[in-house]
Structure 1
């Protein structure tokens, strides 16, 4: 089978990052984080007045977060065989390495922050890398914690798909879609990209564990947060911020599942 082109990998990573940015939690975090850092005043940012510091941290947080999300999406696509935490470590090092010069140019080069108050490049690198990996570690802990597993329903033991992905429970799976010869499986832990037929991936999920809403799209009904209509087109909104198209052929499936109105 042919390997995906560089363009397909990059465009897919950008698409994944945009989906994540649509999540309500992301929007709330982008509003709260700059305000918190403005009040705390790390890296000598307390020398600036409130509005100057708020603008500084808003730009820093927004730029670094968007870059970091695209970076992680690229790593997920390029290194699908690594487990979740290993991809998080690789992503964190790469993120810190290229964000360090970007932040110096962005902060000092543009005149937003004075040179004497800017942290060292090592401090920026460690902050970026450790921050990135911490986010991955928290996500891993939340969705793999024994306490959480005991409270939520377990995946059927006969579902072979769990031998291929980091998720261990069906409730962690959000959706699947076709990308060339690959199947992209989006879970609460991130994205898995597997070289296999879409029909085989659906079969390995187990009967009755999901819903085919398009020839190229499958969703976990419990991960659907709503629907949107655009003329005659219908889209299901999932908790990762994506909008999954519902084709006419499979619309009755979504209606029967109570995901859209007839």
Structure 2
């Protein structure tokens, strides 16, 4: 019976530190199935169609602008979003502050966006790419527009989401200070726990700032944390409610995807608890 079961303990590092590519793909999937993302996309396309920036208000009628800006947004958004997420993860792992990592990642993602916009103009024939250039090369002039916009959007998105999380954490700050388990954690690790994973006689504690091995049994750590912050979803895993993103099923196995992209195995006996975590997570 156990011979065909995946050994999550042997691959714990893959769960604790997903690659930037895996994280970006998961974030793209989450965005693709989120109705709010499509509503936002429609709002942006509508705004661009009505305003007609970069000369499109003069060169195109309304229906042409609608097709043009729909194509631009649908082609560039997944590329810019996926690349900026992946690059920001890499930069963050190299010690850059979150705001700096997000801004640089957005700027870098703006480069392929420039190429996509230029090619769209060339293929669609709606606008001659040369009209953007003057005596500068077309791609360089286009990048001069897309890079700062992409960097600004990436930074703005980070600031909005981080402020939202901070506001949500304020009412819990006093209560968290009284939780015994937090006294075991290094100060630099913070208190915003994402997950706990049992490894032999230790527990790997993962927070939004990193991870650390603590000498304690998972059951004891769970008791010290008390109720309300999270739930056990596997004999080796405890997950914070605030960081439970969604449920996925792979080859009949249930996995819980966390806010940092980690996929956590869910035991059959804990499936209801995992589903309850996702339902209670902020923003769901």
Common topology (TM > 0.5): yes
Q: How many residues align?
A: 239
The unaligned stretches of length 5 or more in structure 1 are: 186-191
- State whether structure 2 residue 270 is matched by structure 1 residue 250: yes
1:211 to 208, 214, 231: 231
Could you tell me which of 130, 147, 157 is aligned with 1:135?
A: 157
Q: Shift in Å at residue 19 of structure 1?
A: 2.2
Query: TM (normalized to structure 1)?
Result: 0.66
Indicate whether 1:106 and 2:82 are aligned.
Answer: no
- TM-score for both structures, normalised by structure 2: 0.62
**1-structure distance, mates of 2:157, 2:279:** 32
For the residue of structure 1 that corresponds to 2:53, the secondary structure is coil
SS of equivalent to 1:153: helix
**Deviation for aligned residue 1:76:** 3.9
Q: Find the aligned partners of 1:33 and 1:245 in 2 and give their Cα distance.
A: 38
Please state how far the C-alpha of 1:198 moved relative to its aligned partner: 10
C-alpha separation in 2, matches of 1:153 and 1:20 = 28
SS of 2:176's partner is: coil
Distance 1:126 1:89 in 2: 9
* Aligned twin of 1:39: 50
Q: Which has the higher Rg, Structure 1 or Structure 2?
A: 2
Quote the offset at 1:89 in angstroms: 1.8
Is 1:50 the counterpart of 2:49? The answer is no
- Structure 2 alignment gaps of length 5 or more: 1-10, 134-140, 198-203
Secondary structure of 2:172 counterpart = coil
**2:37 aligns with one of 6, 13, 26:** 26
Q: 1:57 to 1:72 in 2, by over 3 A?
A: same
Residue by residue over 1:206-245, the C-alpha shift from the partner in whole angstroms, topping out at 9 and shown as x without a partner, is 3432112245765444676998999x87677989999977
The CA RMSD measured in Å over matched residues stands at 4.7
Bigger mean CA offset, 56-65 vs 210-219: 210-219
Q: Deviations over 1:124-146 (max 9, x none)?
A: 3222222222222332334346x
